[in-house]
Amino acid sequence: MAETTHRRRTREAPDTADAFRRLASLPDGPERARLRQEVIAAWLPMAERISLRFRSSGESPADLRQVAALGLVNAVDRYDPELGYAFETFAVPTINGELKRHIRDHAWSVHIPRRDQELRIAVRSAQVALGRRGDHTRSSPAELAAESGLSEEEVRRGLAAEGVHHTLSLDHPVLGADGLPLADTLGSADGALELVVDRQSLRPLLSALPERERYVLYWRFFGNLTQKQIGARLGVSQMQISRILSRTCARLRRELLGPAGPPGRTPTPG
Protein backbone atom coordinates (compact mmCIF):
# COMPACT_ATOMS: atom_id res chain seq x y z
CA MET A 1 0.00 0.00 0.00
CA ALA A 2 2.80 2.39 0.91
CA GLU A 3 4.57 1.54 -2.34
CA THR A 4 1.38 2.28 -4.35
CA THR A 5 0.97 5.64 -2.61
CA HIS A 6 4.59 6.49 -3.32
CA ARG A 7 4.22 5.63 -7.02
CA ARG A 8 1.06 7.81 -7.24
CA ARG A 9 2.82 10.74 -5.58
CA THR A 10 5.83 10.31 -7.85
CA ARG A 11 3.64 10.21 -10.93
CA GLU A 12 1.76 13.41 -9.96
CA ALA A 13 4.79 15.31 -8.66
CA PRO A 14 7.96 14.36 -10.55
CA ASP A 15 11.25 15.19 -8.89
CA THR A 16 12.61 18.10 -10.92
CA ALA A 17 14.22 20.11 -8.11
CA ASP A 18 17.76 19.54 -9.44
CA ALA A 19 16.63 20.35 -12.98
CA PHE A 20 15.18 23.68 -11.88
CA ARG A 21 18.39 24.58 -10.05
CA ARG A 22 20.36 23.80 -13.21
CA LEU A 23 17.95 25.86 -15.31
CA ALA A 24 18.52 28.84 -13.05
CA SER A 25 22.28 28.59 -13.50
CA LEU A 26 22.45 27.84 -17.24
CA PRO A 27 22.69 30.61 -19.85
CA ASP A 28 20.34 30.66 -22.83
CA GLY A 29 21.36 28.05 -25.36
CA PRO A 30 20.67 24.50 -26.63
CA GLU A 31 21.44 22.81 -23.32
CA ARG A 32 19.09 25.03 -21.34
CA ALA A 33 16.36 24.72 -23.99
CA ARG A 34 16.63 20.89 -23.89
CA LEU A 35 16.45 20.81 -20.09
CA ARG A 36 13.48 23.19 -20.10
CA GLN A 37 11.60 20.91 -22.50
CA GLU A 38 12.33 17.90 -20.27
CA VAL A 39 10.93 19.69 -17.22
CA ILE A 40 7.79 20.74 -19.14
CA ALA A 41 7.27 17.17 -20.40
CA ALA A 42 7.65 15.80 -16.87
CA TRP A 43 4.89 18.05 -15.51
CA LEU A 44 2.59 17.94 -18.55
CA PRO A 45 0.45 15.02 -17.22
CA MET A 46 -0.35 17.10 -14.14
CA ALA A 47 -1.40 20.05 -16.32
CA GLU A 48 -3.68 17.78 -18.34
CA ARG A 49 -5.29 16.41 -15.18
CA ILE A 50 -5.97 19.96 -14.00
CA SER A 51 -7.65 20.72 -17.34
CA LEU A 52 -10.12 17.89 -16.68
CA ARG A 53 -11.58 19.88 -13.79
CA PHE A 54 -12.98 22.35 -16.33
CA ARG A 55 -14.80 19.84 -18.52
CA SER A 56 -18.17 21.29 -17.52
CA SER A 57 -17.21 24.68 -18.99
CA GLY A 58 -18.26 23.52 -22.46
CA GLU A 59 -14.83 24.07 -23.99
CA SER A 60 -13.33 21.19 -25.97
CA PRO A 61 -10.88 18.95 -24.06
CA ALA A 62 -8.19 19.69 -26.66
CA ASP A 63 -8.50 23.45 -26.10
CA LEU A 64 -8.41 23.01 -22.34
CA ARG A 65 -5.28 20.86 -22.55
CA GLN A 66 -3.61 23.45 -24.74
CA VAL A 67 -4.44 26.27 -22.32
CA ALA A 68 -3.25 24.19 -19.37
CA ALA A 69 0.02 23.46 -21.19
CA LEU A 70 0.48 27.18 -21.78
CA GLY A 71 -0.05 27.80 -18.08
CA LEU A 72 2.54 25.14 -17.30
CA VAL A 73 5.09 26.76 -19.62
CA ASN A 74 4.50 30.11 -17.92
CA ALA A 75 4.96 28.49 -14.52
CA VAL A 76 8.22 26.80 -15.56
CA ASP A 77 9.62 30.07 -16.92
CA ARG A 78 8.62 32.11 -13.86
CA TYR A 79 9.47 29.62 -11.10
CA ASP A 80 12.38 30.57 -8.84
CA PRO A 81 13.73 27.59 -6.85
CA GLU A 82 15.58 29.98 -4.53
CA LEU A 83 12.27 31.10 -2.97
CA GLY A 84 12.08 27.81 -1.13
CA TYR A 85 8.68 26.39 -2.12
CA ALA A 86 7.91 23.37 -4.32
CA PHE A 87 7.24 23.90 -8.00
CA GLU A 88 3.84 22.20 -7.72
CA THR A 89 2.72 24.78 -5.16
CA PHE A 90 3.43 27.50 -7.73
CA ALA A 91 2.34 25.68 -10.88
CA VAL A 92 -1.14 24.52 -9.84
CA PRO A 93 -2.62 28.00 -9.17
CA THR A 94 -0.85 29.34 -12.27
CA ILE A 95 -2.44 26.69 -14.50
CA ASN A 96 -5.83 27.10 -12.82
CA GLY A 97 -5.67 30.85 -13.34
CA GLU A 98 -4.82 30.45 -17.03
CA LEU A 99 -7.76 28.10 -17.54
CA LYS A 100 -10.19 30.38 -15.69
CA ARG A 101 -9.10 33.40 -17.71
CA HIS A 102 -9.51 31.48 -20.94
CA ILE A 103 -13.03 30.35 -20.04
CA ARG A 104 -13.98 33.83 -18.85
CA ASP A 105 -12.70 35.54 -22.01
CA HIS A 106 -13.35 33.00 -24.77
CA ALA A 107 -15.95 30.42 -23.79
CA TRP A 108 -18.98 32.73 -23.79
CA SER A 109 -21.09 32.95 -26.95
CA VAL A 110 -22.89 36.01 -25.59
CA HIS A 111 -20.92 38.55 -23.58
CA ILE A 112 -22.20 39.08 -20.05
CA PRO A 113 -20.67 41.00 -17.13
CA ARG A 114 -17.66 39.39 -15.46
CA ARG A 115 -19.51 39.19 -12.13
CA ASP A 116 -22.24 37.07 -13.72
CA GLN A 117 -19.59 34.80 -15.24
CA GLU A 118 -18.04 34.34 -11.81
CA LEU A 119 -21.44 33.61 -10.29
CA ARG A 120 -22.13 31.04 -12.97
CA ILE A 121 -18.86 29.23 -12.16
CA ALA A 122 -19.58 29.31 -8.41
CA VAL A 123 -23.11 27.98 -8.89
CA ARG A 124 -21.88 25.28 -11.24
CA SER A 125 -19.28 24.18 -8.66
CA ALA A 126 -21.99 24.01 -6.00
CA GLN A 127 -24.18 21.89 -8.28
CA VAL A 128 -21.32 19.48 -8.91
CA ALA A 129 -20.52 19.26 -5.18
CA LEU A 130 -24.15 18.54 -4.25
CA GLY A 131 -24.42 16.02 -7.06
CA ARG A 132 -21.34 14.13 -5.92
CA ARG A 133 -22.77 13.82 -2.42
CA GLY A 134 -26.00 12.56 -3.91
CA ASP A 135 -28.02 15.13 -1.98
CA HIS A 136 -30.28 16.12 -4.86
CA THR A 137 -30.61 15.57 -8.58
CA ARG A 138 -31.85 19.16 -8.94
CA SER A 139 -30.88 21.62 -6.23
CA SER A 140 -32.98 24.64 -5.27
CA PRO A 141 -31.53 28.19 -5.20
CA ALA A 142 -31.58 28.05 -1.39
CA GLU A 143 -29.53 24.84 -1.34
CA LEU A 144 -27.09 26.19 -3.89
CA ALA A 145 -26.76 29.41 -1.89
CA ALA A 146 -25.97 27.44 1.29
CA GLU A 147 -23.38 25.35 -0.55
CA SER A 148 -21.67 28.22 -2.40
CA GLY A 149 -21.92 30.95 0.22
CA LEU A 150 -23.81 33.20 -2.22
CA SER A 151 -27.15 34.88 -1.72
CA GLU A 152 -30.19 33.37 -3.45
CA GLU A 153 -30.34 36.39 -5.77
CA GLU A 154 -26.71 35.78 -6.79
CA VAL A 155 -27.50 32.11 -7.36
CA ARG A 156 -30.37 33.07 -9.66
CA ARG A 157 -28.05 35.37 -11.61
CA GLY A 158 -25.57 32.52 -11.94
CA LEU A 159 -28.28 30.15 -13.15
CA ALA A 160 -29.46 32.73 -15.69
CA ALA A 161 -25.89 33.11 -16.97
CA GLU A 162 -25.76 29.36 -17.64
CA GLY A 163 -28.25 29.81 -20.47
CA VAL A 164 -26.03 32.19 -22.45
CA HIS A 165 -22.81 30.25 -22.09
CA HIS A 166 -23.41 28.71 -25.50
CA THR A 167 -25.73 29.52 -28.37
CA LEU A 168 -27.10 27.13 -30.95
CA SER A 169 -26.50 27.36 -34.66
CA LEU A 170 -29.59 28.21 -36.70
CA ASP A 171 -28.91 24.96 -38.57
CA HIS A 172 -29.09 22.92 -35.35
CA PRO A 173 -31.93 20.32 -35.53
CA VAL A 174 -34.68 20.85 -32.96
CA LEU A 175 -35.88 17.88 -30.92
CA GLY A 176 -39.58 17.21 -31.32
CA ALA A 177 -39.76 19.20 -34.56
CA ASP A 178 -39.13 16.32 -36.97
CA GLY A 179 -35.49 17.30 -37.30
CA LEU A 180 -36.25 20.77 -38.61
CA PRO A 181 -33.38 23.25 -38.26
CA LEU A 182 -33.83 25.88 -35.57
CA ALA A 183 -34.17 28.63 -38.20
CA ASP A 184 -37.33 26.98 -39.59
CA THR A 185 -39.04 27.05 -36.18
CA LEU A 186 -38.42 30.72 -35.41
CA GLY A 187 -41.04 33.33 -36.05
CA SER A 188 -40.45 36.37 -38.22
CA ALA A 189 -41.90 39.83 -38.49
CA ASP A 190 -45.20 39.86 -40.39
CA GLY A 191 -45.01 42.55 -43.02
CA ALA A 192 -48.81 42.80 -43.01
CA LEU A 193 -48.69 44.22 -39.48
CA GLU A 194 -47.46 47.51 -40.88
CA LEU A 195 -50.64 47.74 -42.95
CA VAL A 196 -53.10 47.20 -40.10
CA VAL A 197 -53.48 50.90 -39.30
CA ASP A 198 -53.86 51.79 -42.98
CA ARG A 199 -56.51 49.11 -43.48
CA GLN A 200 -58.48 50.22 -40.45
CA SER A 201 -58.28 53.83 -41.61
CA LEU A 202 -59.44 52.90 -45.11
CA ARG A 203 -62.43 50.90 -43.95
CA PRO A 204 -64.81 53.89 -43.37
CA LEU A 205 -63.48 55.66 -46.49
CA LEU A 206 -64.29 52.63 -48.65
CA SER A 207 -67.75 52.36 -47.11
CA ALA A 208 -68.40 55.99 -48.09
CA LEU A 209 -67.64 55.38 -51.80
CA PRO A 210 -70.43 55.05 -54.37
CA GLU A 211 -71.37 51.45 -55.06
CA ARG A 212 -69.87 51.42 -58.59
CA GLU A 213 -66.46 52.61 -57.32
CA ARG A 214 -66.48 49.97 -54.59
CA TYR A 215 -67.16 47.23 -57.14
CA VAL A 216 -64.42 48.48 -59.45
CA LEU A 217 -61.86 48.47 -56.64
CA TYR A 218 -62.95 45.05 -55.41
CA TRP A 219 -62.88 43.39 -58.82
CA ARG A 220 -59.53 44.97 -59.72
CA PHE A 221 -57.55 44.43 -56.53
CA PHE A 222 -59.25 41.40 -54.98
CA GLY A 223 -60.87 39.70 -57.95
CA ASN A 224 -57.79 40.17 -60.16
CA LEU A 225 -59.94 41.16 -63.13
CA THR A 226 -58.51 43.27 -65.90
CA GLN A 227 -59.88 46.73 -66.64
CA LYS A 228 -61.42 45.35 -69.83
CA GLN A 229 -63.21 42.55 -67.93
CA ILE A 230 -64.55 45.01 -65.35
CA GLY A 231 -65.76 47.30 -68.14
CA ALA A 232 -67.60 44.39 -69.75
CA ARG A 233 -69.43 43.68 -66.46
CA LEU A 234 -70.49 47.30 -66.05
CA GLY A 235 -71.16 47.95 -69.75
CA VAL A 236 -68.52 50.68 -70.08
CA SER A 237 -65.18 50.97 -71.87
CA GLN A 238 -61.79 50.01 -70.51
CA MET A 239 -60.80 53.68 -70.66
CA GLN A 240 -63.68 54.64 -68.35
CA ILE A 241 -62.65 51.96 -65.83
CA SER A 242 -59.10 53.35 -65.90
CA ARG A 243 -60.41 56.83 -65.10
CA ILE A 244 -62.61 55.50 -62.28
CA LEU A 245 -59.64 53.68 -60.72
CA SER A 246 -57.35 56.71 -60.97
CA ARG A 247 -59.95 59.07 -59.58
CA THR A 248 -61.01 56.76 -56.73
CA CYS A 249 -57.44 55.92 -55.65
CA ALA A 250 -56.50 59.60 -55.66
CA ARG A 251 -59.53 60.41 -53.52
CA LEU A 252 -58.75 57.67 -51.00
CA ARG A 253 -55.12 58.75 -50.83
CA ARG A 254 -56.09 62.37 -50.26
CA GLU A 255 -58.58 61.52 -47.52
CA LEU A 256 -56.26 59.01 -45.86
CA LEU A 257 -53.25 61.32 -45.71
CA GLY A 258 -55.18 64.42 -44.72
CA PRO A 259 -54.77 67.97 -46.02
CA ALA A 260 -51.03 68.23 -45.38
CA GLY A 261 -49.98 64.67 -46.18
CA PRO A 262 -46.76 63.16 -44.94
CA PRO A 263 -43.51 65.21 -44.92
CA GLY A 264 -42.06 65.82 -48.35
CA ARG A 265 -45.17 64.64 -50.18
CA THR A 266 -47.85 66.59 -52.00
CA PRO A 267 -51.43 65.24 -52.11
CA THR A 268 -52.60 64.13 -55.54
CA PRO A 269 -55.06 66.62 -57.02
CA GLY A 270 -58.56 65.40 -57.72
User: How do the domains of the chain map onto residue ranges?
Assistant: 16-106, 114-162, 199-257
Residue spans of beta strands (DSSP E) within the chain? none
- Which ranges in the chain belong to alpha helices (H)? 2-12, 17-25, 30-51, 61-78, 87-106, 114-133, 141-148, 152-162, 196-207, 211-221, 227-234, 238-257
Integer Cα distance of 199 and 196 in angstroms = 5
**pLDDT for the residue numbered 265:** 43
pLDDT-derived band at 108 (thresholds 50, 70, 90) equals: low
Of 138-142, 146-150, 161-165, minimum mean pLDDT range: 161-165
Residue that wins the pLDDT comparison between 188 and 5: 188
Q: What is the CATH number of domain 199-257?
A: 1.10.10.10
CATH 1.10.1740.10 fits 16-106, yes or no: yes
43 has pLDDT over 90: yes
Within 8 A by CB and 6+ apart from 85, the residues are none
245 has pLDDT over 70: yes
Overall average pLDDT of the 235-244 stretch: 92
